[in-house]
């Protein structure tokens, strides 16, 4: 895939994901605002209903008592009657109707002891309606008449209640608050109203008079501008007196969030799945591009590595055809050795590829046995010693481990150490200087191979054991190889239950460290 197209695709995917996240955030934020508005509307209505209920309960309580006392009262102190009389004649007959509608008001002077006020007595009216109908029937000749009377009485309790409320409002205004309502009554009323509206927030309350707190309150009430609401209580405009009921819904945020929590979590889960899928897909795309690039580099390197020995073998064969060379044993032997060496070189490269391929397929059988690790190290050093000496360098061993018996595959463990040493030689810009240390700690033996080469960055250290990866040196063919050696090292050590780590810094060399289990 073209780099520009790949970058554009990644940008579009990232922009789409960002758009989804923004939309989800907007939805959650908008849902929260709507639920908060609904919550505020609910609690305000709850407070209005609570205030009305408390006032009505007070009036109802005293009106019931008043009605009982009034029904048992004796003769009224004063009676007044208002009456309206009117007559209607029929057109088709000589009959006539006389209607009488009146209001009977009886004034009673009652004790106010039931009101808990400072007044000794108060006058209340008992109001009744009186309706009387007379039907006068005339004879045909008009000489005789007959009268039919109907009469009915009815208590105007609604009217009585209204006039009681008007009178009681001014009387109760002088009654102490704690005698009018209790904290428990307010608590129960608010709780019931909240339950009816499905609001589950905890609350605290207090009744204030002229901005001063009264004793009618919950124990832990505290005013908060964000969560405290207020409503008038026992408001009386006639005497310019009243109270304020403050209610603090201290769990407002929790109640609002709980109402959208399920859908929000579901939305976030789906968004997270999309994000993880996007990240995984992007990682795979990047990884595939890296693998493709590494494989291209591997093929280029392998072609280059094979091209030189093939060309050399071709030249040597052409030389052997020369009649002069056929008669010269020295030249003949020289060219034969050259062909053999170049063939061995190509065979070694093919073996590297086949060996790592076998490891990938888990087809490599690694029989293990007890061996002295120091002997394996010395054998490995001997394999690389001539190359190091030829470059004017050294490999110094500091074998400080007291316990040295390990359970390994001798051949492959030798290859592991040789590969690391060979890597140290390849990536030394000047004279290769290598130190090899061993140290036994408890049931482990630690092996450190330290060089003074070009080193590597942290990013390169993370990739050094990847197949085909090679540390860049500015020239793709500057360091020979296919990027398979350290990948092989990692797989062999994994099979032995050993973990390899690197300590490195640019221009200051590298140290490869791995631990092997000792035979107890």
Q: CATH 1.10.287 region(s) of the chain?
A: 255-352
Are 175 and 115 in contact, with CB atoms under 8 Å apart? yes
207 SS3 class: strand
Rounded to whole angstroms, the Cα distance separating 416 from 412 reads 6
> What pLDDT is recorded for position 139?
62
Task: Record the pTM.
Answer: 0.44
Query: Does the domain made of 365-517 have the CATH classification 3.30.565.10?
Result: yes
pLDDT < 70 regions, the chain: 1-3, 6, 63-88, 90-95, 97, 99, 102-130, 136-149, 151-174, 236-241, 294-309, 325-327, 345, 348-349, 352-365, 386, 467-485
Run of H or E including 145: strand 145-155
Rounded to whole angstroms, the Cα distance separating 220 from 201 reads 15
Are 121 and 73 in contact, with CB atoms under 8 Å apart? no
The token pair that represents 332 in the structure block: 């003949």
Instruction: Return phi, psi of residue 131, to 5°.
Output: -120, 125
- Whose tokens are 């033996």? That residue is 445
- Give the list of residues 6+ apart from residue 380 with CB closer than 8 angstroms, or none: 414, 417, 418, 421
Rounded to whole angstroms, the Cα distance separating 506 from 87 reads 123
Q: 3-class secondary structure for 467-499?
A: CCCCCCCCCCCCCCCCCCHHHHHHHHHHHCCCC
Cα dihedral 474, 479, 483, 489 in deg (nearest 10): -130
Displacement of CA 25 from its chain's centroid (Å): 12
- The CATH class that applies to domain 255-352 reads mainly alpha
Residue 69's closest CA among 20, 19, 122, 105?
A: 122
> What pLDDT is recorded for position 476?
41
Cα dihedral 186, 192, 197, 199 in deg (nearest 10): 70
Q: Is the dihedral of CA 278, 281, 287, 290 positive or negative?
A: negative
Q: 3-class secondary structure for 258-316?
A: HHHHHHHHHHHHHHHHHHHHHHHHHHHHHHHHHHHHHHHHHHHHHHHHHHHHHHHHHHH
State the alpha helices, DSSP H only, in 72-182: 157-172, 177-180
> What pLDDT is recorded for position 444?
92
Rounded to whole angstroms, the Cα distance separating 397 from 438 reads 8
Instruction: Return phi, psi of residue 264, to 5°.
Output: -65, -45
Strand partners, 231: 245
> What pLDDT is recorded for position 518?
93
Q: CATH 3.30.565.10 region(s) of the chain?
A: 365-517
Q: Say how many CA atoms lie within 13 Å of 110 toward its Cβ.
A: 23
Overall residue count recorded for the chain in this entry: 520
């Amino acid at each position: 895939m073209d780099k520009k197209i790949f970058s554009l695709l990644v940008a579009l995917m990232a922009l789409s994901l960002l758009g989804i996240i923004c939309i989800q955030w907007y939805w959650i934020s908008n849902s929260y605002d709507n639920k908060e508005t609904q919550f505020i509307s609910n609690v305000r209505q709850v407070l209005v209903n609570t205030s009305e209920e408390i006032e009505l309960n007070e009036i109802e309580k005293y009106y019931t008592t008043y009605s009982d006392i009034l029904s048992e009262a004796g003769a009224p102190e004063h009676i007044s009657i208002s009456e309206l009389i009117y007559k209607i004649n029929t057109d088709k007959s000589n009959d006539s109707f006389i209607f009488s509608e009146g209001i009977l008001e009886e004034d009673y002077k009652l004790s106010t002891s039931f009101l808990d006020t400072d007044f000794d007595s108060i006058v209340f009216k008992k109001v009744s309606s009186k309706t009387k109908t007379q039907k006068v029937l005339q004879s045909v000749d008009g000489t005789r008449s007959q009268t039919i009377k109907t009469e009915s009485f009815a208590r105007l309790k609604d009217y009585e209640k209204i006039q009681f409320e008007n009178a009681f409002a001014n009387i109760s205004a002088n009654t102490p608050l704690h005698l009018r309502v209790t904290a428990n009554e307010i608590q129960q009323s608010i709780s019931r109203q909240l339950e009816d509206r499905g609001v589950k927030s905890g609350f605290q309350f207090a009744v204030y008079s002229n901005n001063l707190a009264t004793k009618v309150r919950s124990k832990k009430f505290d005013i908060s501008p964000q969560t405290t609401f207020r409503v008038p209580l026992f408001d009386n405009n006639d005497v310019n007196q009243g109270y304020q009921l403050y209610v603090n819904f201290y769990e407002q945020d929790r109640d609002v969030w709980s109402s959208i929590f399920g859908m929000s979590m579901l939305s976030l889960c789906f968004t997270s799945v999309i994000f993880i899928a996007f990240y995984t897909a992007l990682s795979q795309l990047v990884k595939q591009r890296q693998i493709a690039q590494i494989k291209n580099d591997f093929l280029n390197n392998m072609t280059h590595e094979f091209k030189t020995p093939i060309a050399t073998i071709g030249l040597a064969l052409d030389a052997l055809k020369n009649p002069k060379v056929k008669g010269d044993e020295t030249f003949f032997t020289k060219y034969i050795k050259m062909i053999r060496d170049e063939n061995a070189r190509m065979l070694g490269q093919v073996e590297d590829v086949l060996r790592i391929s076998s490891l990938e397929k888990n087809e490599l059988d690694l029989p293990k046995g007890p061996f002295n690790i120091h002997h394996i190290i010395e054998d490995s050093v001997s394999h690389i010693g001539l190359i190091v000496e030829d470059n004017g360098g050294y490999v110094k061993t500091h074998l400080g481990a007291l316990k040295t018996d390990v359970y390994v595959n001798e051949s492959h463990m030798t290859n592991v150490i040789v590969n690391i040493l060979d890597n140290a030689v390849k990536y030394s810009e000047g004279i290769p200087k290598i130190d090899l240390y061993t140290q036994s700690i408890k049931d482990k033996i630690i092996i450190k191979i330290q060089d003074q080469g070009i080193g590597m960055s942290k990013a390169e250290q993370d990739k050094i054991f990847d197949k085909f990866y090679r540390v860049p040196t500015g020239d793709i063919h500057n360091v020979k190889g296919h990027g398979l050696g350290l990948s092989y090292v990692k797989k062999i050590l994994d099979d032995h239950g050993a973990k390899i780590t690197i300590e490195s810094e640019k221009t200051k060399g590298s140290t490869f460290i791995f631990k092997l289990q000792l035979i107890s």
